[in-house]
Amino acid sequence: MSVTAVMTCLYDLSTSRKLRSAFAEDPQSALARYKLDDDERQSIINCDVGALFEQGHNPMLLMGYYMILNGPQSMPEYIGKMPTLSSRLEGAQPV
Protein backbone atom coordinates (compact mmCIF):
# COMPACT_ATOMS: atom_id res chain seq x y z
CA MET A 1 0.00 0.00 0.00
CA SER A 2 1.25 3.46 -0.87
CA VAL A 3 -0.57 5.89 1.43
CA THR A 4 1.27 8.97 0.18
CA ALA A 5 0.57 8.12 -3.47
CA VAL A 6 -3.15 7.61 -2.78
CA MET A 7 -3.48 10.82 -0.77
CA THR A 8 -1.58 12.79 -3.42
CA CYS A 9 -3.77 11.32 -6.15
CA LEU A 10 -7.01 12.10 -4.26
CA TYR A 11 -5.82 15.64 -3.57
CA ASP A 12 -4.88 16.16 -7.19
CA LEU A 13 -8.23 14.81 -8.39
CA SER A 14 -9.97 17.18 -5.97
CA THR A 15 -8.05 20.26 -7.06
CA SER A 16 -7.06 19.81 -10.72
CA ARG A 17 -9.70 20.21 -13.41
CA LYS A 18 -7.20 19.00 -15.99
CA LEU A 19 -6.61 15.75 -14.09
CA ARG A 20 -10.37 15.26 -13.50
CA SER A 21 -10.99 15.66 -17.23
CA ALA A 22 -8.27 13.13 -18.05
CA PHE A 23 -9.64 10.81 -15.34
CA ALA A 24 -13.17 11.02 -16.80
CA GLU A 25 -11.82 10.23 -20.26
CA ASP A 26 -9.34 7.45 -19.37
CA PRO A 27 -8.96 6.67 -15.65
CA GLN A 28 -6.14 4.14 -16.08
CA SER A 29 -3.98 6.58 -18.02
CA ALA A 30 -4.77 9.48 -15.70
CA LEU A 31 -3.63 7.44 -12.68
CA ALA A 32 -0.53 5.98 -14.34
CA ARG A 33 1.77 8.64 -12.89
CA TYR A 34 0.90 7.59 -9.31
CA LYS A 35 2.58 4.60 -7.67
CA LEU A 36 -0.65 2.81 -6.79
CA ASP A 37 -1.18 -0.89 -6.33
CA ASP A 38 -4.03 -2.58 -8.22
CA ASP A 39 -6.48 -2.44 -5.29
CA GLU A 40 -5.83 1.25 -4.69
CA ARG A 41 -6.20 2.06 -8.39
CA GLN A 42 -9.51 0.17 -8.64
CA SER A 43 -10.84 1.77 -5.44
CA ILE A 44 -10.09 5.23 -6.85
CA ILE A 45 -11.57 4.41 -10.26
CA ASN A 46 -14.69 2.94 -8.63
CA CYS A 47 -14.88 5.83 -6.16
CA ASP A 48 -14.98 3.24 -3.35
CA VAL A 49 -14.50 5.59 -0.43
CA GLY A 50 -15.40 2.87 2.09
CA ALA A 51 -12.50 0.68 0.92
CA LEU A 52 -10.14 3.65 0.82
CA PHE A 53 -11.16 4.61 4.36
CA GLU A 54 -10.57 1.04 5.54
CA GLN A 55 -7.07 1.29 4.03
CA GLY A 56 -6.46 4.20 6.40
CA HIS A 57 -7.00 7.24 4.19
CA ASN A 58 -8.20 10.55 5.57
CA PRO A 59 -12.03 10.81 5.58
CA MET A 60 -11.97 14.56 4.87
CA LEU A 61 -9.75 14.05 1.82
CA LEU A 62 -12.05 11.21 0.72
CA MET A 63 -15.08 13.46 1.17
CA GLY A 64 -13.56 16.19 -1.02
CA TYR A 65 -12.66 13.66 -3.71
CA TYR A 66 -16.11 12.03 -3.61
CA MET A 67 -18.03 15.28 -3.69
CA ILE A 68 -15.96 16.85 -6.48
CA LEU A 69 -16.68 13.79 -8.65
CA ASN A 70 -20.33 13.38 -7.64
CA GLY A 71 -21.48 16.90 -6.72
CA PRO A 72 -22.39 18.50 -3.39
CA GLN A 73 -25.78 16.78 -3.36
CA SER A 74 -23.94 13.46 -2.88
CA MET A 75 -23.07 14.07 0.80
CA PRO A 76 -25.78 11.70 2.15
CA GLU A 77 -24.56 9.02 -0.28
CA TYR A 78 -20.95 9.57 0.85
CA ILE A 79 -21.93 9.22 4.51
CA GLY A 80 -23.81 6.01 3.71
CA LYS A 81 -20.72 4.51 2.08
CA MET A 82 -18.43 5.26 5.02
CA PRO A 83 -17.98 2.62 7.71
CA THR A 84 -19.27 3.66 11.11
CA LEU A 85 -17.72 3.16 14.50
CA SER A 86 -20.54 0.79 15.43
CA SER A 87 -19.88 -1.33 12.32
CA ARG A 88 -16.24 -1.57 13.36
CA LEU A 89 -17.20 -2.64 16.87
CA GLU A 90 -19.66 -5.36 15.83
CA GLY A 91 -18.08 -8.67 16.66
CA ALA A 92 -15.18 -7.08 18.49
CA GLN A 93 -14.07 -8.94 21.55
CA PRO A 94 -14.19 -7.07 24.86
CA VAL A 95 -10.81 -6.40 26.40
Q: pLDDT tens for residues 8-63?
A: 999 999 999 999 999 999 999 999 999 999 999 999 999 999 999 988 889 899 99
Task: Inform me whether the pLDDT recorded for 91 exceeds 80.
Answer: no
- Give the chain as a 3 state SS string: CCHHHHHHHHHHHHHCHHHHHHHHHCHHHHHCCCCCCHHHHHHHHCCCHHHHHHCCCCHHHHHHHHHHHHCHHHHHHHHHHCCCHHHHHCCCCCC
Q: What is the pLDDT of residue 2?
A: 81
Three-class SS state of 4: helix
Looking at residue 65, what is its pLDDT? 93
Of the candidates 92, 7, 10, 90, the one whose C-alpha atom is nearest the C-alpha of residue 56 is 7
Check residue 48 and give its pLDDT.
94
